[in-house]
A and B are shown apart, each in its own frame.
Chain A
Amino acid sequence: MWEAKWNAFIKTFIESEGYIRVLTGLKNTALIAVIGLLIGIVIGTLIAIAAVTPKYKVAPRIFDGIGKVYVGFFRGTPMVVQLLLTYYVLLPLLGIKIDSLMVCIIVFGMNSGAYVSEIMRSGIQSVDGGQLEAARAVGLPYGTSMIKVVIPQAIKNILPTLGNEFITLIKETSVVSFVGALDLYTAFSYIGSNNYEFMVPYLVMAAIYLTLILVVTLLVRILERRMKKSDRRH
């Protein structure tokens, strides 16, 4: 039985050019997860800085307020809902037409920003307060002190957690088909639906996701070790 299923799979995969869809899906998954995480780190860092900035002045209080609402919304709703709302409600209302892949990248980035902000905040709080004081004491402005001294150390501390966030993003890319973007799920569904044989395609899909995530986990480990060099003696 497996042989027939496997042959059917290979046939669609190669002859009907299913592999092109798979490669495109893989590329989209990577694009959404990587760019999404980068956007997430930028947004998350800004929100986290707003959260830890002393609130004597009005501006930090306003930014922190906006950040709290933002985080509340993106953590309080599922990614699919955010995608659907953006693609089918917000953009039509605004009369904007953008490619669904682009929408996915932006929504993933914004969603990730909410989670990264919490990660980043705990990262910032794990950096010894003397670091910021020393930076301020030599005359660096608050923002420069954060960006040059505190945030790099915070990122080092949260690298494993950021790796997890990246993995979550990779896994969540399996919902982008809801707004018509091509991903691994759409690619393998297509292959399966070609001759109604879903077992092999979905097994292969699972294997690809698993491999992807194992590789990413390994890369995070290596990166972590390299960033530890400022901790090592000699």
Chain B
Amino acid sequence: MIDVINLQKSFGKKEVLKGVNVTIEEGEKVAIIGPSGSGKSTFLRCLNCLEDPTGGSIIFEGEDLADLKVDINKHRENIGMVFQHFNLFNNLTVKQNIMLAPVTLNKKKRAKNRRIKLYNAIFKKDKPLYAVSSLKDAKKEAEENALRLLNRIGLADKADVYPSTLSGGQKQRVAIVRALAMNPKVMLFDEPTSALDPEMVGEVLDLIKEVADEGMTMLIVTHEMGFAKNVASRVLFMDDGVIKEEGTPEQIFEHPECERLRDFLEKVL
């Protein structure tokens, strides 16, 4: 599903990713662990080009995302991301947070259709149009979907409040369903529970586990080793800008091979 080939990223002179190679299969739950500063976040952020890679390629749906010419917005619709600090849109209500991207997508498609129609009219061609509903229908559909998602996480009563009124755990659960609203093919989580009070970690992990059980392909950077053990189908250990070791949770946690991983596990477990 995603082929990462010799991925590199430098910030100025500082080399952060020094050639990451990994293939993510559909339905896989990949946990990424490793010491602070090893490049876990940078790796995740390169996958949807929040950071532009400086070398290598990321093959997703037949295109190389590292190529600056690809329509990255189109691919980002299929790659959900959940941030450590939630990043809910502060100026929008909870419901609007979830609706913004689907509604914008509809507008974008209709704008494209207008361009195609113009093109067809001028050049007497028959380029097919996108199937797209009216803005009104799209809004209605997005709203129903948002409410359904909020219902699912038990926050339907918060639909019309602003994010600042939510607890951390609630914010992160809304952020997760905001990503789900686009029906992504893969989801990226960057330490989704690190900014939470301990008593709220559980509700967020439960939701992530639910999404995982539904078959979502996901990559999770996490310090929750227990969660990695239970949910991940594969664990990547990153160190110094490369994947030092990878394997099943059992291999990584019970039979670590490299010295660095053993040191790391000793510190965190």
> A131 on the interface (CB 8 Å rule)?
yes
Whether B91 pairs with A152 at a CB distance below 8 angstroms is yes
Interface string of B209-238 (1 = CB under 8 A from A): 000000000000000000000000000000
Contacting residues of chain A (134-151) with chain B, CB-CB under 8 angstroms:
134-141, 144, 148-149
What 8 A-B pairs have minimum CB-CB distances, sorted nearest first?
A134-B87, A139-B77, A138-B101, A130-B87, A139-B76, A230-B162, A137-B81, A152-B91
Q: Which residue of B lies closest to A234 (CB)?
A: B165
Q: Which of A138, A144, A230 contacts B90 (CB 8 A)?
A: A230
Distance, CA A233 to CA B87, complexed state (A): 18
Interface string of A194-227 (1 = CB under 8 A from B): 0000000000000000000000000000000000
B229 to chain A, nearest CB (A): 28
Whether B83 pairs with A134 at a CB distance below 8 angstroms is yes
Residues from chain A with Cβ under 8 Å of B87 in the complex: 128, 130-131, 133-134
- Please give the number of chain A residues whose Cβ is less than 8 angstroms from any Cβ of chain B in the complex: 25
Residue of B76, B175, B178 most packed against chain A (CB within 10 A) = B76
> A153 on the interface (CB 8 Å rule)?
yes
- Please give the number of chain B residues whose Cβ is less than 8 angstroms from any Cβ of chain A in the complex: 32
Whether B179 pairs with A153 at a CB distance below 8 angstroms is no
Residues from chain B with Cβ under 8 Å of A133 in the complex: 50, 83, 87
Distance, CA A205 to CA B8, complexed state (A): 68
Distance, CA A56 to CA B72, complexed state (A): 15
Residues from chain B with Cβ under 8 Å of A140 in the complex: 73, 100-101, 104
Contacting residues of chain B (58-81) with chain A, CB-CB under 8 angstroms:
68, 73-77, 79-81
> B48 on the interface (CB 8 Å rule)?
yes
Distance, CA A163 to CA B48, complexed state (A): 40
Distance, CA A104 to CA B75, complexed state (A): 48
By DSSP majority rule, is chain A's interface helix, strand, loop, or mixed?
A: helix
B132 to chain A, nearest CB (A): 16
Whether A233 pairs with B164 at a CB distance below 8 angstroms is yes
> A3 on the interface (CB 8 Å rule)?
no
Given known contacts A141-B73, A148-B100, A134 and B164 CB-to-CB distance under 8 angstroms:
no
Contacting residues of chain B (4-39) with chain A, CB-CB under 8 angstroms:
none
Interface residues of B (CB under 8 A from A): 48, 50, 68, 73-77, 79-81, 83, 85, 87-92, 100-101, 104-105, 108, 161-162, 164-165, 175, 178-179, 182
Residues from chain A with Cβ under 8 Å of B179 in the complex: 138
Residue of B75, B101, B105, B165 most packed against chain A (CB within 10 A) = B101
Interface string of A151-171 (1 = CB under 8 A from B): 011001000000000000000
Q: Which residue of B lies closest to A54 (CB)?
A: B52
Residues from chain B with Cβ under 8 Å of A97 in the complex: none
Whether A130 pairs with B104 at a CB distance below 8 angstroms is no
Whether A139 pairs with B105 at a CB distance below 8 angstroms is yes
Whether A149 pairs with B91 at a CB distance below 8 angstroms is yes
Q: Which residue of B lies closest to A154 (CB)?
A: B91
Given known contacts A130-B83, A148-B100, A230-B162, A138 and B178 CB-to-CB distance under 8 angstroms:
yes
- Of the A-B pairs whose beta carbons lie under 8 Å apart in the complex, a sample of 27, sorted by A's number, is A56-B68, A130-B85, A131-B89, A133-B50, A133-B83, A133-B87, A134-B81, A134-B89, A137-B48, A137-B80, A138-B178, A138-B182, A139-B77, A139-B104, A139-B105, A140-B73, A140-B101, A148-B104, A153-B90, A230-B90, A230-B91, A231-B162, A231-B164, A232-B162, A232-B164, A232-B165, A234-B165
A122 to chain B, nearest CB (A): 18
A155 to chain B, nearest CB (A): 9
Distance, CA A202 to CA B228, complexed state (A): 77
Whether A144 pairs with B89 at a CB distance below 8 angstroms is no
Whether A135 pairs with B89 at a CB distance below 8 angstroms is yes
Given known contacts A139-B77, A141-B73, A234 and B100 CB-to-CB distance under 8 angstroms:
no
Distance, CA A134 to CA B87, complexed state (A): 6
Q: Which of A130, A138, A144, A156 contacts B91 (CB 8 A)?
A: A156
Residues from chain B with Cβ under 8 Å of A233 in the complex: 164-165
Residues from chain A with Cβ under 8 Å of B164 in the complex: 230-233
Given known contacts A149-B89, A230-B91, A138 and B77 CB-to-CB distance under 8 angstroms:
yes
4 extra interface residue pairs, beta carbon distance < 8 Å, beyond A136-B76, A139-B104: A134-B89, A139-B105, A140-B73, A233-B164
